[in-house]
């Protein structure tokens, strides 16, 4: 893996002002804004609006942040996967003689280096706010904060990789965003809400990811009505990653440039 190629990927993504603004808005800015609004509401009418802090507030916030940060991860992943093609830059990279597989491989750490710090910062904000006005409620333990943080970053990394693979396969940022938005915003919540989701529901990536979440935070999000085992969840996530990245790499290597 070439460090210089990874840095080039970071450069290509981080210089996109629109992408970075949207990602920042969906993560750090959105988290700060939501928490400040809740704080203001609580300050003006404590009887009607509950405390801003404590473990339940943290759980609710984490569920919302996961949804928003997933959109940011998909945006960054789709751009990392299809940005060079859309700009016509992929051809210039290929004629350097650098193997296409290494061009694809550099997109993975490059994109993660862009999206994970943003989502980590948003998570940090959320974690800090859970201690602001907890009232009498228990605050999240350090263990929970670490475990939830790691799970959250895993969730985002998986969604980024899914978008990266799909965009590399399709060669289109817009189509990738459309497909994954549908998967994340329609299919996953729909299956989560079903009492008898039926055969095959275990294969929904979002459900498998939520299965890995620390049990303390599951109160903040519906885990669905599946009795999916931990092993099954890992298998589902691994299969999705292998499929998306495998197809993305294959298409990058074989496509006419």
Partner 1 sequence: MTDVVETAGLTKRFGESTVVSGVDLRVPRGTAFGYLGPNGAGKTTLIRMLLGLIRPSGGTMRLLGRPVPAQRREALARVGAIVDEPRFHGHMTGRQNLWALAAAREPEAHARIDGALERVGLLARADDRVSKYSLGMRQRLGIAACLLADPELLILDEPMNGLDPAGMLEVRELIRSLVEEGRTVVLSSHLLDEVERTCDAIAIVDRGRVVLQGRLDDLRDGSAAVLRVDCSEPARAAVLLRLRADVARVREEEDQLVLELSAGDPRGESAAIAHVVLDAGFELYRLQLDHDSLEERFLELTTRLGAAA
Nearer to partner 1, 97 or 227 (CB): 97
Q: Which residues pair with 52 in a beta bridge?
A: 133
Task: Tell whether residue 227 is a contact of partner 1 (CB under 8 A).
Answer: no
Residues touching partner 1, count (CB under 8 A)? 26
Task: Tell whether residue 36 is a contact of partner 1 (CB under 8 A).
Answer: no
Sign of CA dihedral 211, 213, 219, 221: negative
Nearest to 65 by CA among 137, 144, 151: 151
**95, 195, 199, 227: which one contacts partner 1 (CB under 8 A)?**
95
**44, 96, 196, 215: which one contacts partner 1 (CB under 8 A)?**
96
Task: Tell whether residue 234 is a contact of partner 1 (CB under 8 A).
Answer: no
Interacting residues of 224 by C-beta distance below 8 A, sequence separation 6+: 191, 192, 193, 194, 197, 201, 207, 210
* One character per residue 64-83, x = contact with partner 1 (rule: CB under 8 A): -------------------x
**21, 40, 46, 98: which one contacts partner 1 (CB under 8 A)?**
98
* One character per residue 101-140, x = contact with partner 1 (rule: CB under 8 A): --x-------------------------------------
Nearest to 96 by CA among 106, 108, 86: 106
Task: Tell whether residue 1 is a contact of partner 1 (CB under 8 A).
Answer: no
Nearest to 65 by CA among 123, 22, 21: 123
Nearer to partner 1, 9 or 35 (CB): 9
Name the 3-class secondary structure at 165.
Answer: helix
Cα 158 from Cα 233, distance rounded (Å): 13
Nearer to partner 1, 99 or 222 (CB): 99
Task: Tell whether residue 215 is a contact of partner 1 (CB under 8 A).
Answer: no
Report yes or no: 226 and 207 within 8 Å, Cβ to Cβ.
Answer: yes
Report yes or no: 248 and 170 within 8 Å, Cβ to Cβ.
Answer: no
Nearest to 74 by CA among 192, 200, 232, 205: 205
**47, 88, 195, 227: which one contacts partner 1 (CB under 8 A)?**
88
Nearest to 112 by CA among 144, 72, 147: 72
DSSP 140: P
Q: How far is the CB of 45 from partner 1 (least distance, A)?
A: 45
Task: Tell whether residue 46 is a contact of partner 1 (CB under 8 A).
Answer: no
Q: How far is the CB of 77 from partner 1 (least distance, A)?
A: 17
Task: Tell whether residue 17 is a contact of partner 1 (CB under 8 A).
Answer: yes
Q: How far is the CB of 176 from partner 1 (least distance, A)?
A: 18
Catalog residues that contact partner 1 under the rule CB under 8 A: 2, 4-5, 7-8, 11-12, 15-17, 83, 87-89, 91-99, 103, 256-257
């Amino acid at each position: 893996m070439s460090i210089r190629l990874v840095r080039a990927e970071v450069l290509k993504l981080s210089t996109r002002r629109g992408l970075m603004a949207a990602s920042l808005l969906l993560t750090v800015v959105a988290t700060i804004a939501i928490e400040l609004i809740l704080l203001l509401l609580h300050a003006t009418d404590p009887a009607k609006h509950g405390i801003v802090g404590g473990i339940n507030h943290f759980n609710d916030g984490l569920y919302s942040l996961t949804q928003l940060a997933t959109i940011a991860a998909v945006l960054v992943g789709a751009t990392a996967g299809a940005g060079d093609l859309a700009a016509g830059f992929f051809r210039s990279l290929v004629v350097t003689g650098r193997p296409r597989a290494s061009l694809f491989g550099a997109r993975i750490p490059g994109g993660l280096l862009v999206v994970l710090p943003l989502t980590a910062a948003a998570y940090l904000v959320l974690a800090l706010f859970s201690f602001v006005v907890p009232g009498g409620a228990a605050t999240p333990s350090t263990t929970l904060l670490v475990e939830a943080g790691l799970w959250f970053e895993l969730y985002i990394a998986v969604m980024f990789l899914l978008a990266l693979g799909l965009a590399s396969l399709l060669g289109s940022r817009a189509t990738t965003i459309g497909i994954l938005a549908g998967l994340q915003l329609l299919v996953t919540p729909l299956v989560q809400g079903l009492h008898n989701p039926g055969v095959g529901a275990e294969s929904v990536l979002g459900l498998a990811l939520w299965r890995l979440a620390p049990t303390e935070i599951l109160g903040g999000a519906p885990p669905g009505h599946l009795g999916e085992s931990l092993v099954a969840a890992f298998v589902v996530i691994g299969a999705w990653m292998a499929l998306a990245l495998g197809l993305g790499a294959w298409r990058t290597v074989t496509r006419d440039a």
